[in-house]
Structure 1
Amino acid sequence: MLKALGVQLPIVQAPMAGVSTPALAAAVSNSGGLGSLGIGASTVAQARQAIEETRALTSRPFNVNVFCHEPARRDTEIESNWLNYLAPFFLEFGIETPATLDEIYKTFLADEDAFRMLLHERPAVVSFHFGLPSPDKISAFRKAGITMLATATSLSEAKAIEAAGIDGIVAQGIEAGGHRGVFDPQGVDERLSTSVLVRMLVTRTSLPVIAAGGIMDGAGIRASLDLGATAAQLGTAFILCPESTANAGYRQNLKSDRATITRLTSVLSGRPARGIVNRFIEYCEAAGSPIPAPYPVAYDLAKRLHAGAAKHGNNEFAAQWAGQGAPMARELPAAQLIKVLAGELQAAGH
C-alpha cells in the first residue's frame, strides 16, 4: 500500500496533534518514510496552512490525520464537580477558576468545512482516529484518489474499518503514547499489546496492517514486519527531534528517568491517553476523585491550568504524551533518525 504511493521505507511518523509540524512531516517523507500531520486540534485555516507549508517542503506523500470522536455528551453536574475538584490548583497559581468549560475540538464527523478543505487539498493519505466518518465522506475521499487509514485497537474496530472500505489499518497496541484510538471510550477495552493485535488483524482481516505502539528502533520495526505488518508507525521516537513542537519541559522529562513511568489515563483530556505521570495525573486519579468531564471538555480545563502553571515555570500540569518505549527516544534531527532506523532495520533483517 505505502509502496504504491512511492513511500520507500516501512516507516510512518505518527500524526501527534500538537507535536508534529510541517517541518517534521516533510523531513520524514523526504527521507523515505511517510510523514504525518495531526490536525484534530486545529482550525480549518490552521490545517490548510500546515498542509500548504508541508507541500512547500516536500513533493512526496504525507498523511493528514483527523479526529472522528462522537460529540461530547455534556453533563453540568460532572463538569461542575470536575471544576470544583481542580479549583485549588487555580488558586495556587493565582488563576481565576473557569465558570464553564468548552468543547474545544470540533469532531470531523460534524466538520463540513474541514471535509471540503481536505477534498480540495487532496493529500496523498488521510487517516482517522477515534472512529470513522460517514460512508459518503469515505466515498468522496476514494473518488478523489486519497488513500485512507484508520486506527483500530481491537478486532471489532478493524472489522468495521474493513467493512467501511478503508485502505489500511493502524493497529494501535496498549504500549502506544498519546490518545488511544478506541471508537467507544465507555466500551470494553481488552488493552491488547501491539504484537497480539497485529497478529490478530493480519490473520483475521484482508487489509494491510501498520503496527503502532512501543516501536522505537529498527529492531522493533523488523519485529512488526515479521508479525505480518506492512509498516510500523512511530510517535514517541520523533518527539525529541528538533522539528517537533515539544517544549523544553517535555524534552527534559522525556530524557530523564521520568520517561520510564507512563500511564494510560482519561483525566487530562476526558479520553484514554498515555503520558508521563505528573502531579496532575496523580491528583486526579487519587481515590475519591470525581469522574472527569468528557472529551474534549476536560482538555479545556487541563490546558487552561497548564497555561497558568507554566507562567510560574511549573510543567506538572502538561499533557506530555509518551509511549512505553519512551526511555529509548533519541535526540536526532528527523532525517538522521530515519537514516538510523533504516540502518537498524537492515541490520535486523534475516
Structure 2
Amino acid sequence: MNTFLIAFAAILVLFSVMALIRNDYWTFRIFDYPRLQKFTLSIICLGLLLYFYNGTGTLYWVLTAVVTANTIYLLYLILPFTILGKKQVQKVKSHNRDCSISLMISNVYQDNTNFNGCLNEIHKADPDVVLLLETDEKWEKAVSGLEKEYKYSVKAAKDNTYGMLLFSKLELKDDEIRYIVEDDVPSIHAKVLLKNGKEVMLHAVHPTPPVPNENVRSTERDKELLLVADMAKEEALPVIVIGDLNDVAWSHTTELFLKMSGLLDPRRGRGFFNSFHAKYPFMRFPLDHAFISPDFKLNRIKRLDSFGSDHFPIFLDIQYEPQADKEQKPMHADSDDTEEAEEKKAKT
C-alpha cells in the first residue's frame, strides 16, 4: 500500500508541474485541462495517506506536505470559477430586451446525425444568435430550416471538423469569413445590430487543439486567440468572442487572452459550465466560451442539454450598458504578458 501511495502522490504532483512548463508541445499543454480532476484526486490521495500510510518519519511528512501543497495550489486555480470567486461580470438589475443579445454556442460533433435534437435545443433556448461548430455540408442542409426564423447567416461549412454556421435574428453587417492562422480553419466576424440600433462586434472562433491527431503543439491555437485578442482590444464597439476555443477557462493561455483583449469571463464567480465531454462525467472541462467587453452585464448563463454531441451547448444572455465599464474592470497585462503574447504571435 505504501508503494502505491508514493507512486500516486508522485504522479499527481508531476501532472501539476507539467502544466507549469511553458512549452507548446501537447504533452505539456494537455495537463492544463484536468485541474478539477487533479484537485479531486489530490484530496483522495491526501485522505489515503493520512489513513493508510503505515510508515513514519521524513518520507511520510514530505509526501503529506507536498500533496497538501498541491491540493491548495489547485484549489487556488479553480476557486475563481466557483460561487466563492469574485464575479467579473455583474448581473443586470433590470432586463431590457432592446439592448440585450442572447447567444447559443454548440459544437455539434460532425459525425452526429441527431439534427432534430439540435434544432429542438435551439427552439427551446430561442437565442438571438446561434453558432454551430463542426458543421459540414450535411449539417448545413439539415439545419437550413433555421433561416425562416434566423434571417441573417454566415456559413463556412467544412468536412474537416472546423466548419461553422452562424445564424442570427438580429441584423448582421460587414460579416466576413477569415482564415487567421490556418488555411482550413475559418473564423466568422460580423457586426450585430441590437434592437435599439447599437452595433456590437462579434468574433466566432474554433482554433485547433494541441493533440497528436490535430496539432502536436498549441502554437496555432494560442496564436489565433491572441490575434483575436488584438482585434478585440482595438475595436471601438462592444465586443463578444464566442466559440470552442479548445482551451480551458483556467489555463495560462486563456488568462493571457483576457489580459491582452480586455474582455471579461461571465463564468468567473458562477461555476465551471463544463461543456466537454458530454458522455464522460468525470472528464469534463469548460471548452466552449463566451467572452465579453466590460460594457456588458449578464442576464443569464446556462449549460443546455446534449443531443448526441460530445459537447453540451452553452447559452448566454447579456445586456449592453454603456456605464457598466465603470463597475467592471478587466485584467491588465504587464510587460511580461505583452512580451509573451508577442512571442506567441510571431511563432510559425
Provide the TM-score with structure 2 as the length reference. 0.33
Provide the TM-score with structure 1 as the length reference. 0.33
Larger-Rg structure = 2
Higher-strand-fraction structure = 2
